[in-house]
Amino acid sequence: MVRLLQIEFIKLWNNRASKILITSYFLLLTSIALVAAIKFDIGPVQFHLADQGIFNFPYIWHFNTFVTAIFKLFLAIVIVSMMANEYSNKTIKQNLIDGLSKKEFIASKFLTVISFSLISTVFVFVVSMILGLVYSDYNEISIIFSDLEFLVAFFVKLVGFFSFCLFLGIFVKRSAFALGFLILWVILEQMVFGLLGWKVTSWESAKMIKSLFPLESMANLIKEPFSRLSAVQNIGQQIGENMSFDYQVYWYEFLIVILWTAIFVYLSYALLKKRDL
């Protein structure tokens, strides 16, 4: 396993573009701390974002995992191109000839995906922990360590998303087209949802079906955290809107994403096995 990771590390780290993207990704993950510095001071209106409770435990777990998940697009580019480049450079052929089995090849890519997700999760955990310890109003151990399922959801979400990228890379074989396909897929999921709700079934069941789609199921894992903020809640109450949403992460949501991950990894393997290089 270490060998497979080392192989992938050599390939990635010697590539300047990947190196820059990976570094900037992790810098961006850290940069969420800068949100704390957002301060407005316009005469009587004083606004300090850090004081609005976004860094309160356990809310910070929800907020940070949601916001940082947006940066995953950087790694998506790296992952799609690390797969597609093997095709365009024909190095995949050479790798296999040199004695890497097809299973090992996919395993090395998937292990890289797992490592990226794991490191990201640890990163978000550490950054959030520091921010929370500095700004949170509540510092009891039991509160700090509650709602940690958002970190697990973050990890599963990243693994799922990157596995999808991996599959697209192998399926399309060209990084630019694969990324285009990814965007197309986002639109496609929404369109199918729209069509289902409009023509086929009720909007209720269309929503149910939609939550089974790969990208939608990943998005569902961590729901938007903004309406949970007390400031937003206050405004909601003032205008008479009921703002009680369900923010929980459910086990079946995990299950759907894990299932998609398995499907994507298996399809990548099957595709590689079937193709003549």
Partner 1 sequence: METILTVQNLTKKFGFLTAVKDLSFTIEKGNVYGILGPNGSGKSTTLGIILNVVNRTAGEFSWFDGNTSTHEALKKVGAIIERPNFYPYMTAIQNLKLVCKIKEVPDTKIQEKLELVGLWDRKDSKFRTYSLGMKQRLAIASALLNDPEILILDEPTNGLDPQGIHQIREIIKKIAAQGTTILLASHLLDEVEKVCSHVVILRKGEKLYAGPVDGMLASHGFFELRTKDLEKLESLLEKNASFGKITRENGTLTAFLKEEMNAEELNKLLFEKGLVLSHLVKRKESLEEQFLTLTKNN
In the complex, the residues that contact partner 1 under the rule CB under 8 A are 3, 6-7, 10-11, 14-16, 89-91, 93-102, 104, 273-274, 276-277
Closest distance between partner 1 and the C-beta of residue 263, in Å? 22
Number of residues that make up the chain: 277
Closest distance between partner 1 and the C-beta of residue 276, in Å? 5
CA within 13 Å, CB half, 210: 22
Closest distance between partner 1 and the C-beta of residue 237, in Å? 57
Q: Which two tokens stand for residue 229?
A: 């903020």
- Closer of 170 and 218 to partner 1 (Cβ): 170
Closest distance between partner 1 and the C-beta of residue 165, in Å? 20
- Closer of 98 and 204 to partner 1 (Cβ): 98
Taking the C-alpha atoms of residue 180 and residue 137, their distance in angstroms, rounded to an integer, is: 44
- Closer of 37 and 97 to partner 1 (Cβ): 97
- Closer of 14 and 238 to partner 1 (Cβ): 14
Note the helical H segments in 136-250: 141-144, 149-172, 175-195, 203-210, 214-221, 230-238
Q: How far is CA 269 from CA 12, 104, 185, 225, in A?
A: 21, 10, 21, 36
- Closer of 100 and 258 to partner 1 (Cβ): 100
Closest distance between partner 1 and the C-beta of residue 97, in Å? 5
Look up tokens 């990894």; give the residue.
Answer: 265
CA within 13 Å, CB half, 71: 23
